[in-house]
Amino acid sequence: MPDLLSPTSPVSKASTMSPATSTVPAAPSTASTSTGAESQLPYGRSRKQVSRACDWCRVRRIRCDNEQPCKACRQRGAQCTQNGGDGPRTLPQALREIDKLKARVRELESELAAYKSQPRAVAAITPVSPSDQSSPVQSVKSQVQNTAVVKPRWEGIYVATARSDQPSYYGPSSIYYFVSRIGCYLGKALQQPHADKSFQTRGGSKNMHETDSPDDNARQDSSEIVSGTDARWGALRRVHEEALLKLFWEGYHCFMPIVDETEFRQHYASLWEPSRTTRKQSPLVDIILALSLQYGYAFIPRNATHLADHDEAYGDSAVAGRWYYRRSQALLSADLESPSLTTVQCYLFSICYLCCASFQNMCHIVHAQAVRAGQTLGLHLEPPADTPHGERELRKRVWWHVLLLEAKISTKLGRPFLLDLGQVSSMSRPSDDLATATYNNSSLGAYGPGPDITWLSFSSHNCQLFITMANIYEVLYDKCGEAIHQNNITSIYADPNVLESCAKVLAASMPILRAWADNVPEQLKMRRRSGGALLHGPLCRRN
C-alpha cells in the first residue's frame, strides 16, 4: 500500500513535532489554517487492495474489489468468476513450491524403483512396423494382443453334414470328428477313397423351410405361414391338439419344467372362441405342438402312415410338425425388440425340436438367441426379492436349462462355450422341494416313500450333471491343446505318450463325477444287473 506519510506532506512535519500525533494529525487552531492545509494535500484517498481480481476485471485491467460478486460485475449483471489459480507471487513462495515438487518427484522415483524390483511375468512384445506406429488404432490393437492369453486348442474338422451342403466346423469332441477318423482308417485299410457323407445318416429334408406340398418346391410365403392354415392338411382341431398336449405333459414337461402348467392351460383355453373353428396364434403353443407331433410320430408304425409320407423329401418323421415350428418362429421374430419369458421358453423348446431333427447348426444358433434374450431379461442374475416364490423358481429353472443346453450343445459339436460355466457355483440352484413342485396346483407332485423326491428332482440333478460334465470337458481339452502345442503335433492320437497323459487327466477328474452320482437319490437311480453300482467301470476302478 502506498505510504501516506510522505516527507513533503504537512502531516509528516507534524509527526516530527510530537510522537502522540504520529498517526493522527493535530487539529489546527483556526479555520484559515485548516483551509490552507487541505489545499496543499498532494494525494487523495488510496483505493483498497484486493488479493486477486476476478477474471473479467483482470483481463480488462480495471479496478476490482473483494466483494462477491465485485462491483463491476454487479453493474454489468454478469457472473463474477475466478477460475485462475493463485500461483506463487513472491520468491519465498516460489521456492517452497519448487521444494514441494522435488519431494513429490523423489517419492514417485522410489515407488518406481520398488515396482521394478518385484518379479513379474513379461509379456512377449510384438515388433511394430513404422507404419503401425503412426496409427493409434494399430497401437491399441497391438497392446491388446500382447496382454491377451490365447490357449492352444485341438483343431477340429470342416465337413458338410447330411442336412447341409455348406462345410461347418466341428471340434474333436463331436461325433463328426469321430466318424471322420473311422472313415480315414477304413480308407487306408481298404485302400479305397470314400465320401464324407457316406458315413453319415441320411436326412430327407435339408431345409426346415421347405414347402408342405410335395409337388411344389418353392418356399411358402411368410404371410401364409402366419395365416393360420396348413397348405395340405389344414389346422388341427382342438381335440387333436389337446391329445398332442397330453403327450407333452407326459414326456417333455418332466425333462424340461420351464412352463407353469396351470398358467399354460389357462392361456391355451383363452385362445379358443366359441364362434371360431381355429384358435388364436401363440408361439409357445405352436412350438409345443411341434414337439408333440415330432414325439408322437415315432409311435406310429411306418406301414400305417399315408403313402405320401414314405417320400423322403416329404415324409421325414424328424421334421413332423414343422409347420407349427415355422409359424412359432415367425411370431417370435415380430417381437424381438420386446422379449419376454415366453420368448426364452420358445427358444428352448425350438432347440429341442431342431436337435431331434438333426439340424445342428440351427440348434446352435437358436441357443445363442436364447442366451441373449435371457440376459436381456436378467435371468442370469438372482430374481428380485419381491418376486413371488413360484415365479422366482420358474425363472431359475429357465436359466439353468439355458446352461444345460449350453453344456450339451457346445460339447457335442466341439465348439467354444458362449457362457462362462465356471460362474455357476455362485448361482443358487432351483428348488425341487414339495412346496415348489405343488405350486399353483400342479397336477404332478411328489412320489416315492417321502416328500424329498418330486417331479422336479430329475431335472435338478440332470442340470447339475451337465454342468459337472462341462467342467471336466474344459479341463481335459485344455490339457489336450497344451500337449499338442508342446509336442508340435496335430492330434493326441499321433503320440502315445500324449494320449496317455490326457487319459490321466480324465481319470483324475472322475471323482468329481462320482461325487455327483453319490448325491443322486436312490429313487432316481436305475438298478444294475447283479447288484452293479453306478460309475464303477474299468476307468473308475483304475482311478
- Tell me, what amino acid is at 470? A
Distances (CA, A) of 298 to 305, 317, 318, 470: 11, 7, 9, 31
For residues 161 and 194, membership in a common domain is answered with yes
| pLDDT recorded at residue 289 | 95
Judge whether 78 lies within some domain.
yes
For residues 23 and 56, membership in a common domain is answered with no
For residues 54 and 34, membership in a common domain is answered with no
Asked whether the beta carbons of 197 and 160 are under 8 A apart, the reply is yes
| pLDDT recorded at residue 216 | 43
Q: Which residues of the chain have pLDDT under 70?
A: 1-51, 83-90, 116-149, 162, 195-234, 302-316, 445-451, 534-543
Report the alpha-carbon angle 123-124-125, nearest 5: 110
Q: What pLDDT, in 10s, does the model give residues 498-540?
A: 999 999 999 999 999 999 998 888 888 888 777 777 665 554 4
Judge whether 96 lies within some domain.
no
CATH code: domain of residue 68: 4.10.240
Judge whether 233 lies within some domain.
no
For residues 29 and 56, membership in a common domain is answered with no
| pLDDT recorded at residue 543 | 46
Q: What pLDDT, in 10s, does the model give residues 179-227?
A: 888 888 888 888 887 766 666 666 555 666 554 443 344 344 444 444 4
> Which cell is 129 given?
512396423
Where is the domain boundary, 199, 214, 230? 199
| pLDDT recorded at residue 133 | 47
H helices within 273-388, ranges in order?
283-297, 322-333, 341-356, 360-376
Judge whether 171 lies within some domain.
yes
Judge whether 439 lies within some domain.
no
Question: The domain containing residue 15 runs over which residues?
Answer: 10-38
Peptide bond just before 69 cis, omega within 30 deg: yes
Round to whole Å and give the CA distance between 74 and 207: 80
> Radius of gyration over alpha carbons of the chain, in Å?
42
- Tell me, what amino acid is at 336? L
| pLDDT recorded at residue 296 | 87
| Terminal C-alpha separation, the chain | 95
Asked whether the beta carbons of 261 and 212 are under 8 A apart, the reply is no
Judge whether 422 lies within some domain.
no
Report the alpha-carbon angle 284-286-287, nearest 5: 70
Number of domain units in the chain: 3
Distances (CA, A) of 521 to 255, 287, 372, 492: 17, 33, 34, 38
Classify residue 413 as left (phi > 0), alpha (psi -120 to 50) or beta. Answer: alpha
Judge whether 187 lies within some domain.
yes
Judge whether 60 lies within some domain.
yes
| pLDDT recorded at residue 15 | 42
> Which cell is 334 given?
415380430
| pLDDT recorded at residue 318 | 78
| pLDDT recorded at residue 202 | 61
| pLDDT recorded at residue 121 | 43
| pLDDT recorded at residue 123 | 41
